[in-house]
Amino acid sequence: MGTITGIVNFLAKVRSLSFIQIMQRTLVILFPFALFGAFAQVFAASFLSVGGFFGSIFDVDAWLPHYEALRVLFDDISQLTLGMLTVAGAFQAAKYTAKYYHKDDQMAGLTGAVGYCLIFFHHTTTETGIAVEMRYYDYHWLLVGVLIGYGVGQLFRWFGQSENATAADSALILNRAFLAMRPIAITLFWALALHTGFALLRYAKIDQYITTGVQDLANQKASLPITFGAALLTTVLGWFGFTGPLAYTSKISEIEIWDNLDTALSQGSSWHAPHPYTALSLYHSFGTFGGTGALLALLIGLILLSRNRNSRLVAQWSFFPAIFNASLPTMLGIPILLNPLFFLPFTLIPLVNMGLAAGAIALHWMPPVVYPVPAGTPGPLVAFIGTNGNVPALLFGIGLLVVDVCLYWPFIRLAENVNQHLREEAM
């Protein structure tokens, strides 16, 4: 019991650090936007797209008029929520940091958002106007956005005015703007410097070299260590909220995947696929129920067993997108991102699943997954579809889900103990 109390005390201490507190508040504020964005994304990708899960199995293009226009509308929603989430994150992080040190938080928030946008502002002039590259504004770069927001908040801590001087009195409002000039100028200067440096890197195509370098590294022969290593890298970076350069993970062992498909189509079944342990047959089929970190199991555990009403509410709302592997609402709402409580299960449970699946394939309980699976297929059905309807693969997937709920269970309890501890300390 002594060690458990020690762990709880340690985790409670970590969670009371200023950066962690600011981070977690930011994430919670972003939760509703991530939720709406995830719903829209699921409708666009899984229901309204020909290559999506519902789109394929129910032939949506055959009977739903204007499905493409509908998809564009849903895409627009997700573009302005998920697609701008990092900018919002920079805003909130800067605002909360300034507030934490009792400074002008509104000014800090705006400065954080503008500063972040400036660092990654790349545009080209076209015939019809300006095309801005939005890549760095979407949720994959959330960690970077929050760090920059935190930095801007610190600038306001050192150079900004205290809250008292910034009361929203109409006579003082101009005064307030002038008082914020110094931290804004410093932010813009450094953002411009970083922007220039980054633009030079892009001009020299160094970002492309790095991306292709990582891809070449990943494009090796599919062996167990490579597949597991890539999966661990993905989950660890996912926990940090930094998945930007890893958005290509579906390309890992692409050559082997084609080779497998080729053999399976010639032979009429996937039992004798030449590369049984690819990323597709292990990670994408068994390691991502509910998105990175096998979060569907965590949500089921929270809904069934949590004593905390808020956790249950978040879990219920996040459940629908999570069925279709959109995990962002869960990541922000629980939260999982940068939450030391969930580091171990989030990064390791997918690997446990992959290990069990590799064992089941080695023992010939089920064939390797080689056939194409539509985007947005519910987690436990991926292996079923990808093995051309192998029933043991479906049962194995459902069994894994149960195992994952059991594995997440002690961590759900631990999280509740830490919360309890924090509440007691606060009283």
Partner 1 sequence: MAFQKIRQWPKAVWHWLFLGLFLLLIVGLAWPSYSWTQANVKQMATRHNAKMSPVIMIPGSSANESRFDDLITTINKTDHQNHSLLRLHIYTDGTIKATGAIRPNDREPFIVVGFENNDDGYDNIKQQAKLFGQAFTQLTKKYNFNNFKGFGHSNGGLIYTDFLEHYFKDDQITMKRLMTVGTPYNFAENSTSRKTQMLADFIKDRSAIPENLVVYSVAGTENYDNDSIVPIKSVAAGKYIYQGQAAQYTQITVTGKMAQHSELLANPQIIELMTRYLLDPVKAPTKKTTTRTYHDADPTNSLENDANGQ
Q: How far is the CB of 240 from partner 1 (least distance, A)?
A: 30
> What residues numbered 120-139 form the site for partner 1, per CB under 8 A?
none
By CB under 8 A, tell whether 57 contacts partner 1. Answer: yes
| Beta-carbon count within 10 A of 130 CB | 8
* Residue 123 bridge partners (DSSP): 132
Q: How far is the CB of 341 from partner 1 (least distance, A)?
A: 22
By CB under 8 A, tell whether 388 contacts partner 1. Answer: yes
Pure H helices in 268-342: 285-286, 295-305, 309-323, 328-333
Applying CB under 8 A, among 5, 10, 16, 58 the residue interacting with partner 1 is 58
Pure H helices in 268-308: 285-286, 295-305
By CB under 8 A, tell whether 381 contacts partner 1. Answer: yes
Applying CB under 8 A, among 328, 394, 407, 415 the residue interacting with partner 1 is 394
By CB under 8 A, tell whether 371 contacts partner 1. Answer: yes
By CB under 8 A, tell whether 338 contacts partner 1. Answer: no
Instruction: Quickly tell me which residue has 């101009």 as its tokens.
Output: 174
Applying CB under 8 A, among 17, 304, 344, 406 the residue interacting with partner 1 is 304
By CB under 8 A, tell whether 249 contacts partner 1. Answer: no
Q: How far is the CB of 310 from partner 1 (least distance, A)?
A: 15
Size of the site for partner 1 (CB under 8 A): 27
Q: What is the CA radius of gyration of the chain?
A: 24
Q: How far apart are CA 354 and CA 287, in angstroms?
A: 6
By CB under 8 A, tell whether 262 contacts partner 1. Answer: yes
Applying CB under 8 A, among 385, 400, 407, 418 the residue interacting with partner 1 is 385
Applying CB under 8 A, among 204, 372, 410, 425 the residue interacting with partner 1 is 372
Applying CB under 8 A, among 3, 124, 164, 266 the residue interacting with partner 1 is 266
* 3-state class (DSSP) for residue 46: helix
Q: What does 351-381 look like in DSSP terms, one character per residue?
A: HHHHHHHHHHHHTTSSPPP-S---BT--HHH
By CB under 8 A, tell whether 325 contacts partner 1. Answer: no
By CB under 8 A, tell whether 197 contacts partner 1. Answer: no
Q: Which is nearer to partner 1, 183 or 376 (CB)?
A: 376
Q: Which is nearer to partner 1, 323 or 337 (CB)?
A: 323
Applying CB under 8 A, among 56, 243, 288, 353 the residue interacting with partner 1 is 56
Q: How far is the CB of 303 from partner 1 (least distance, A)?
A: 6
70, with CB counted inside 10 A (0-12, 13-18, 19+), is: middle
Q: Which is nearer to partner 1, 46 or 161 (CB)?
A: 46
By CB under 8 A, tell whether 384 contacts partner 1. Answer: yes
Q: How far apart are CA 10 and CA 89, in angstroms?
A: 27
- Judged by CB under 8 A, the stretch of 158-166, 174-182, 215-223, 262-270 that binds partner 1 is 262-270
- Judged by CB under 8 A, the stretch of 149-157, 249-257, 300-308, 409-417 that binds partner 1 is 300-308
Angle CA(86)–CA(89)–CA(90) in degrees, nearest 5?
A: 90
Q: How far is the CB of 380 from partner 1 (least distance, A)?
A: 5
Residue 269 has, within 13 A of its CA and on its CB side, a CA count of 6
Q: How far apart are CA 86 and CA 77, in angstroms?
A: 15
Q: What does 48-99 look like in DSSP terms, one character per residue?
A: SSTTBHHHHHTTHHHHSTTHHHHHHHHHHHHHHHGGGHHHHHHHHHHHHHHH
Q: Are 8 and 414 in contact (CB under 8 A)?
A: yes
By CB under 8 A, tell whether 268 contacts partner 1. Answer: yes
Look at the chain and count its residues: 427
Q: How far apart are CA 107 and CA 160, in angstroms?
A: 9
- Judged by CB under 8 A, the stretch of 17-25, 190-198, 259-267, 360-368 that binds partner 1 is 259-267
Angle CA(113)–CA(39)–CA(44) in degrees, nearest 5?
A: 100
Q: How far apart are CA 248 and CA 30, in angstroms?
A: 25
Binding residues (CB under 8 A) for partner 1: these are 56-58, 261-262, 265-266, 268, 300, 303-304, 316, 319, 323, 371-372, 377-378, 380-381, 384-386, 388-389, 394, 398
